[in-house]
Structure 1
Amino acid sequence: MQLQFELLAADGRIESIQVGVDYCIVAGWAGRDRAAIEHHILELAELGVPRPSDVPLYYRIATNQLVQSERVQVVGPHSSGEAEVLVFQHNGELCVGLASDHTDRALEAHSVALSKQVCVKPVATTAWRFSDVAAHWDELILRAWITEDGQEVAYQDGAVASLLHPLDLIKKHFQQDQLPEKTVMTCGTVATIGTIRPASQFTMELFDPRLNRRIRHTYEIEFLPEIA
């Protein structure tokens, strides 16, 4: 599996890179604040999702679920996106991107792992070097908007400071300080504004106020009929 990125340096230089992916992990329940984790658990409990056995949890996802298109197809009307930081290695250097942990909410009540596996994971095509943002990591902001009834409305807006640091997530799962090559990992999400709900379009953004730049990606969702 290959992902393509425009790697944007702090000084504005752009490098086109290809990243091979053999291993994909979605880190769930990844908040720093246990109260915030509990809030998200209760959000999902309203949809019938059982409490996690541990926090954080690491879900293995098939790499063929990673896509960089602007249109995705899902079965049934029950799935929704989640804006998440994406991290990966390139030539021995940690890089930062953006992905949506698009999830089937109806299936989530049966199995969180399966609900994540059945939906593709849209990935933005811009990335940054982690070294360019490491010193002000907690200032980064995750945002998302959805289109409802033809109107774009705010759906997520929160600081990555509310989530476990990616280096901590890497160390806990891989028992080492460096993410392995050909591995990508999403690093958790922030709470929704209002209820978790499907939409015809999802826009996600990672904003860096210190360097005044953003990674942004929009994708449309086509709901395929759910045939029994």
Structure 2
Amino acid sequence: MKAVFKINDANPRQVEVDFNSVIVAGWAGRDMAAIEHHIEELAAIGVPRPTSVPLYYRIAENQLTQSANVQALGLESSGEVETFVFAVDGEMYVSIASDHTDRKLETVSVAMSKQVCVKPVATEAWRLADVAAHWDELVIRSYIVENGEKVLYQEGPLSTLRTPQDLIAGYTGGAAVLPQGAGMTCGTVGAIGGIRAAADFTMELFDPRLQRTLRHSYHVESLPVVA
């Protein structure tokens, strides 16, 4: 999948990435209490406990999309905001993506539930080097629309999650930079009020130090489930 990101810094430009590998880093909490909370949250809807943490799920690269309109089978899928890191010419960048997941299928196979849903990713990114020193201050959040109202669905600082460098090293066997063409999501925070589906999802990465926000919204069209 070919993606284009706008980089708005002292040198505004666009970077283009031809993704050939997408990795979802699951169970990426920095402390076991936060991981256990998310495990219990998913267990409440029937998802089995992971065999180890973190886990790295490979996703087909054609599941990555920058579209604002996506499709999913049925009414039981939902989004999760995560930071999304990738490399261009040896330079690491950070954006945001949604690990959109089929929650009904997740009770059968987590890997399959992630594979069947597209992974929306934003159209803007920052240089990782510009936020690395204050990474723990960054905040991810998401909103859904319920009964016509925009509702805060997730919110939490990145201090609760493993750093990209840690997750990348765990996946690559020691390297702190992803190979060109690879993108990785880096974990999420719990849902406020429990995991639930919604047709409209907005995700953000907020930098309080530099007072800027990455934002992306998408709408899910539900496809009929037929036998």
What TM-score range do you get, normalising by the shorter chain? Answer: over 0.9
The aligned residue for residue 113 of structure 1 is 111
Instruction: List runs of 5+ in structure 2 lacking aligned partners.
Output: none
RMSD of Structure 2 on Structure 1 (CA): 0.7
Matched, 1:219 2:197: no
Equivalents in 2 of 1:20, 1:43: separation in Å?
Answer: 35
Partner secondary structure for residue 53 of structure 1: coil
Whether the 8 Å contact between 1:8 and 1:129 is mirrored in structure 2 is no
CA drift at 1:8: 2.0
1:175-194, CA deviations, whole angstroms, 9 ceiling, x for partnerless residues?
A: 12221111000000011101
The aligned residue for residue 2 of structure 1 is 2
Partner secondary structure for residue 64 of structure 1: helix
Partner secondary structure for residue 155 of structure 2: strand
Normalising by the residue count of structure 1, what TM-score does the alignment of the two structures yield?
A: 0.98
Equivalents in 2 of 1:183, 1:39: separation in Å?
Answer: 29
Partner secondary structure for residue 94 of structure 1: strand
The aligned residue for residue 32 of structure 2 is 34
Aligned partner of 2:86 among 85, 88, 110: 88
Q: How many residues align?
A: 226
**Identity across aligned pairs (percent)?**
58
The aligned residue for residue 47 of structure 2 is 49
The aligned residue for residue 165 of structure 1 is 163
Aligned partner of 1:133 among 131, 134, 138: 131
Runs of 4+ in 1 over 3 A off after TM superposition: none
Equivalents in 1 of 2:194, 2:82: separation in Å?
Answer: 18
The aligned residue for residue 145 of structure 1 is 143
Instruction: List runs of 5+ in structure 1 lacking aligned partners.
Output: none
The aligned residue for residue 22 of structure 2 is 24
The aligned residue for residue 202 of structure 1 is 201
Q: Which letter maps to 1:219?
A: Y
